[in-house]
Amino acid sequence: MKHNFGAGPGILPHEVLKQSAEGVLNFNGTGLSILEISHRSPEFEAVLDEAVALVKELLEVPEGYSVLFLQGGASTQFALAPYNLLPEGGKAAYVESGVWANKALKEAKFFGQVEVVATSKPTNFNYIPKDFTIPEDAAYIHITSNNTIYGTQLQQFFKSPIPVVCDMSSDIFSRKFDVADFGLIYAGAQKNMGPAGVTLVVVKNDILGKTGRAIPAMFNYQVQIEGGSMYNTPPCFAIYVAMLTLRWLKAKGGVAGIELENIAKAKALYTEIDRNPLFKGVSAIEDRSHMNVTFVVENPEHEKPFLKYCDEKGIVGIKGHRSVGGFRASIYNALPITSVHVLIDAMQEFEEKYK
Amino acid sequence: MKHNFGAGPGILPHEVLKQSAEGVLNFNGTGLSILEISHRSPEFEAVLDEAVALVKELLEVPEGYSVLFLQGGASTQFALAPYNLLPEGGKAAYVESGVWANKALKEAKFFGQVEVVATSKPTNFNYIPKDFTIPEDAAYIHITSNNTIYGTQLQQFFKSPIPVVCDMSSDIFSRKFDVADFGLIYAGAQKNMGPAGVTLVVVKNDILGKTGRAIPAMFNYQVQIEGGSMYNTPPCFAIYVAMLTLRWLKAKGGVAGIELENIAKAKALYTEIDRNPLFKGVSAIEDRSHMNVTFVVENPEHEKPFLKYCDEKGIVGIKGHRSVGGFRASIYNALPITSVHVLIDAMQEFEEKYK
């Protein structure tokens, strides 16, 4: 039995994996694999339609927004957001809360001016900058809701006079929020929504078509909207697994239901980190992520033995990112609270042994 | 038992599907799914390395070329080829042999001038234009090796004084060719190489970096080369299935081995089309595709009954594209010759009944 705390591609629900494997062999009784059927077949179109409907239902997407399943990961969206939203000669505002935010703003520079309105770079991104003014002359303001590497999360979204563009790759579907606060939301699927290879985009229709820029078809949100995410062959299997994962989430009580579990998991783990004298948290307490829990050992000599200790207990993927060090326990939607307790028990046993 | 003649996403080998399903449940004995492991894990890196090595071996890729696995399908490459190869104010030459070639040249117009050196549009693309002069002042010449919709295929590649860019989506790995004749080859995986969601790119390194254009990271072949197809999270599962499919191909005797089978399958089917008085071929005989065999019924009233007849025999995906009508039997690498004989038998029985 493995306890998968990997940062992404991350853990998926066991029953989703079982259904996915069945679909690879014989999809919905067609006698064919989901990997070898036409994306224009009624069987696959039903999958895509259900995936879109589940996103709309689970996120309570208001009228006037489109839901897309695209390829290329969030890194492609770093470029597509400014390509579609930043007018020639215009300006975009960015909050730099981590290296992914930094990569996003670098891509925007290919398309216009960038104003970094706040950054936490000087303290290695251990908090979320919240004290900034939104420049009303910018085309949009870009934020990252959860910073996987550092274990920080913006706990409270804000109202804005200009469209808010948000990279939600590592916490979408983990907590309730109001889609109406955003102009564009994007998220690589491989944390809470499915496997690598598909990216969710939720975009407010009326913010498009204002740049004066000609955009190639595959990079053009409007073309993708008109094609219903099927301008060309979509990543069928990744969309299928995402649909199954969203079905699973709905059965768990939807976003509100999973949020309660996520709060319980995070609380249990942070409580142990704060209590256990051998460990300490990395990120600012008010910005602690409910998805990626970063912590280090007080005594650097304990790092290797604790990793080995975890390994023996089937705890995997817990090594911290090289730019932060220590440990990172990613506790995405699909990770059961029992796995969190296995980790807490390991920390307590480790304390007994090494204190 | 289904006989999958679908045009794509197309048939995959049964044993590849079986191994893929196993990987979804428990990948290489890790106790984790291939869908939920880190792309930076040694286990996945081994998959990507083997996939790249198999491409190099099976296509006999010479020194000086890079092999990439990207996202977005051939339609994304329609834009990335000119983005990376067409200098500001420069010109590219295109051979218009079908709607996909047409879509490719439309994307190039976002980046520079396009010269259509030949087209078969006036005859609904029922042949491959071969009588043209390559403009030596163009940055490259773009061709489509196989036209899925019309069932035409360029049987003989050519030497060129300027780089040849080729969309090989529907016939790569089906026949031998010399990579050295090309500057850039791209192919969506979902015909001969794997599932939808990954695109193979083989690019000659020294044709890059000559446009004077700044290119966002995800659209920049040089960045993808330096990142080893892992600038960001790759489509892990699609790459895994592609690797398994290439392993299968190698065991079948590689490209030379499968080419013999493909010739035999195509010959058997075209022979029946030419013999059977109820059917006739659609494309020019010298350009007939060994991958997509297009044909119509002499008597339009036979169309529906023949489709029904096929359906009863488990023959699926044989309806022709709406722009050509009639039938299209896609006989990709993974389709066994026994399936072709089932189709031929159906045509002969149909002849007996309806002649």
What is the pLDDT confidence band of residue A325, given thresholds at 50, 70 and 90?
very high
CA of A339 to nearest chain B CA: how many angstroms apart?
Answer: 14
Residue-level pLDDT at A233: 98
Residue type, B101: A
The rounded distance, in Å, linking the Cα atoms of A8 and B99 is 38
pLDDT digits (tens, 9 = 90+) for A32-88: 999 999 999 999 999 999 999 999 999 999 999 999 999 999 999 999 999 999 998
Mean pLDDT of A6-28: 97
Task: Quickly tell me which residue has 């062999």 as its tokens.
Answer: A25
Residue pairs between chains A and B whose CB atoms are closer than 8 Å: 195
DSSP B329: E
Q: Give the number of C-alpha atoms closer than 13 A to the C-alpha of residue A227, restricted to the C-beta side.
A: 19
Classify domain B14-251 by CATH number. Answer: 3.40.640.10
Strand-pair category, A184-188 with A199-204 = antiparallel
Q: Is B315 on the interface with A (CB under 8 A)?
A: no
> In chain B, what residues touch A317 (CB-CB under 8 Å)?
38
Residue-level pLDDT at A23: 98
| Strands across the sheet containing B65-70 | B65-70, B199-204, B184-188, B164-167, B141-144, B91-96, B113-119
Q: Which 3 state secondary structure label does DSSP give A39?
A: coil
CA of A295 to nearest chain B CA: how many angstroms apart?
Answer: 20
Q: Is A157 on the interface with B (CB under 8 A)?
A: no
The rounded distance, in Å, linking the Cα atoms of A75 and A89 is 23
The answer to whether the CB of A107 falls within 8 A of the CB of A82 is yes
Strand partners, B128: none
Mean pLDDT across chain A = 97
Torsion from C-alpha of A326, B39, A80, B140, nearest 10 degrees: 140
What is the pLDDT confidence band of residue B13, given thresholds at 50, 70 and 90?
very high
Question: Per-domain residue ranges for chain A?
Answer: 14-251, 254-354
Residue-level pLDDT at B326: 97
Each residue of A45-56: b (16+ CB within 10 Å) or e? eebbebbbebbb
Phi, psi of B153 (to 5 degrees): -145, 135
Residues of A identified as active-site: 100, 167, 191
Whether A75 and B218 lie within 8 Å, measured CB to CB: yes
Q: Is B79 on the interface with A (CB under 8 A)?
A: yes
Q: How far is CA A267 from the centre of its chain?
A: 20
Strand-pair category, A164-167 with A279-281 = unpaired
Residues 218-247 of B with CB under 8 A from A: 218-219, 231-238, 241
DSSP A161: S
Mean pLDDT of A202-209: 98
CA of B232 to nearest chain A CA: how many angstroms apart?
Answer: 7
Q: Is A6 on the interface with B (CB under 8 A)?
A: yes
pLDDT digits (tens, 9 = 90+) for A262-271: 999 999 999 9
pLDDT digits (tens, 9 = 90+) for A97-146: 999 999 999 999 999 999 999 999 999 999 999 999 999 999 999 999 99
The answer to whether the CB of B223 falls within 8 A of the CB of B201 is no
CA of B210 to nearest chain A CA: how many angstroms apart?
Answer: 18
Mean pLDDT across chain B = 97
Whether B71 and A235 lie within 8 Å, measured CB to CB: yes
Q: Is B36 on the interface with A (CB under 8 A)?
A: yes
pLDDT digits (tens, 9 = 90+) for B227-240: 999 999 999 999 99
Q: Which 3 state secondary structure label does DSSP give A98?
A: coil
> In chain A, what residues touch B29 (CB-CB under 8 Å)?
none
Q: Is A167 on the interface with B (CB under 8 A)?
A: no
Residues 41-70 of B with CB under 8 A from A: none
pLDDT digits (tens, 9 = 90+) for B82-110: 999 999 889 999 999 999 999 999 999 99
> In chain A, what residues touch B74 (CB-CB under 8 Å)?
232
Q: Which 3 state secondary structure label does DSSP give B202?
A: strand
Residue-level pLDDT at B355: 87
CA of B95 to nearest chain A CA: how many angstroms apart?
Answer: 20
Residue-level pLDDT at A195: 98
B100 is catalytic: yes
The separation between the first and the last C-alpha atoms of chain B, rounded to the nearest angstrom, is 28
The answer to whether the CB of B328 falls within 8 A of the CB of B319 is yes
- Please check the confidence at residue A1 and state whether its pLDDT lies above 90: no
- Please check the confidence at residue A355 and state whether its pLDDT lies above 90: no
Strand-pair category, B292-297 with B327-330 = antiparallel
Mean pLDDT of B8-21: 97
Strand-pair category, B141-144 with B146-147 = unpaired
pLDDT digits (tens, 9 = 90+) for A139-150: 999 999 999 999
CATH of A254-354, one of 3.90.1150.10, 3.30.230.10, 3.40.710.10, 3.30.470.10: 3.90.1150.10
Residue-level pLDDT at B196: 98
Cis peptide bond N-terminal to B9, omega within 30: yes
pLDDT digits (tens, 9 = 90+) for A144-195: 999 999 999 999 999 999 999 999 999 999 999 999 999 999 999 999 999 9
The rounded distance, in Å, linking the Cα atoms of B276 and B279 is 6
Mean pLDDT of B287-303: 97
Task: Quickly tell me which residue has 């969710």 as its tokens.
Answer: A200
pLDDT digits (tens, 9 = 90+) for B177-210: 999 999 999 999 999 999 999 999 999 999 999 9
The rounded distance, in Å, linking the Cα atoms of B192 and B50 is 17
The answer to whether the CB of B156 falls within 8 A of the CB of A196 is no
Residues of chain B with pLDDT > 90, as a percent, come to: 99
> In chain A, what residues touch B106 (CB-CB under 8 Å)?
217
- In 3D, which of B239, B241, B224, B41 has the Cα closest to residue A9? B41
Which residues lie below 8 Å from residue B134, measured CB to CB, with a gap of 6+? B93, B117, B141, B160, B161, B162
Beta strands in chain B (DSSP E): 3-4, 65-70, 91-96, 113-119, 141-144, 146-147, 152-153, 164-167, 184-188, 199-204, 279-281, 292-297, 315-316, 327-330
- Please check the confidence at residue B1 and state whether its pLDDT lies above 90: no
- In 3D, which of A296, A302, A303, A269 has the Cα closest to residue A280? A296
Residue-level pLDDT at A95: 98
